[in-house]
Amino acid sequence: FHSFITGPSVVPGYFSVEVENVVLILNGREQPKITYATQWLRYAETLIQTHKIQNVAVVLLGNEQCHNEWIQPYLKRHGGFVNLLFVTYDCTLANEEDIFQWPLGVATYRNFPVVEPSRSMLHDPRSHLCNFLGTVYKNSSRETLMEILKQDGLDKLCWIAAREQWQPQETNESFKSYQDALLQSDLTLCPVGINTECYRIYEACSYGSLPVIEDVMTPGDCGNSSVYHSAPLQLLKAMGAPFIFIKKWEELPAVLEKEKKMSLQEKIQRRKKLIEWYRNFKAQMRQKFINVLEDSFLPNDKV
């Protein structure tokens, strides 16, 4: 049995339910968020000390450069009280014992919907080979991507909408256009941003559009001494993600050339495989989350 409390009215210093075990979902992306997250941790610590609750796990939307050191003193292994940590990105803290890498998932803060695959999503021909809707930062690999698409006229075959500045809030129109692009493209181009992992990867999977991922490490402290030694995206790779991984965008024309030659039947099979993989991935991660929590919080219930 569990209940979920969320929303702006949930402030540190108040749980409306009598519980023994608590999972805090915290945002540790930048300093103001960390300050707020810390208030929650201090409040949870007080509840532990006064025996109001027994166990705490944290799911952390981590910093995109994996600067997550601030949370370490709160972990049990460092004398704190947090039993388990699930953290996004290729965080080097992950050890598969009490600290687990967690997938970023879709951008729920932008109200990305739960998508149910329809017959047309699986079977209809799509009007674009690929899509990229996003910000093109100065001197980034995204500029290279744009140049390569323009060179061979490939931008005519793809749904490309580049902008110069990131917009955190989608308009209804831009969001609809983004979803249409995913639905109408066989491939979704996923250039690195501050981190290699981005919401776009999971959102493309939701619509059966295969992610083409720029498989390079970004600056920062992510993934240099990993459990799997396959960073970036070591979690997705370990789970057998059927994506196209490329090291540089110069490889893209060959990928698109191959794409042009694929029959609709082959594309349908690939879409089905992608959507099935994504469904299983979510189910496995959910099960892992439950198992890890139960093993840690309810060890006496195991017969």
Which residues does 65 contact at the CB level (< 8 Å), separation at least 6? 194, 195, 218, 219, 220, 221, 222
Q: If pLDDT is split at 50, 70 and 90, which confidence band does 8 have?
A: low
DSSP-derived 3-state class of residue 104: coil
3-state SS track over 119-145: HHHHHCCCCEEEEEEEECCCCCHHHHH
Question: What mean pLDDT value characterizes the chain?
Answer: 91
CA dihedral over 247, 283, 297, 45, signed as positive or negative: positive
- Regarding pTM above 0.75, the answer is yes
What residues contact residue 259 under an 8 Å CB cut-off, 6+ apart? 129, 130, 186, 187
Residue ranges of the chain that CATH labels 3.40.50:
108-280
Please check the confidence at residue 279 and state whether its pLDDT lies above 70.
yes
User: 59, 67, 57: which is closest to 91 by C-alpha?
Assistant: 67
CATH no. of 108-280:
3.40.50
Compute how many other C-beta atoms are within 10 angstroms of the C-beta atom of residue 178: 20
Residues 86 and 60: their CA atoms lie apart, in Å, by: 6
Residue 130 tokens read as: 């690929």
Side-chain half-sphere CA neighbours of 112 within 13 A: 18
- Between 169 and 222, where is the model more confident? 222
pLDDT in tens, 227-261: 546 789 999 999 999 999 999 999 999 999 999 99
pLDDT for 228 equals: 47
67, 34 in Cβ contact below 8 A? Answer: no
Q: How confident is the model at residue 17 (pLDDT cuts 50, 70, 90)?
A: low
202 membership: H or E segment, kind and range: helix 199-206
CA 232 to CA 224: how far, in whole Å? 9
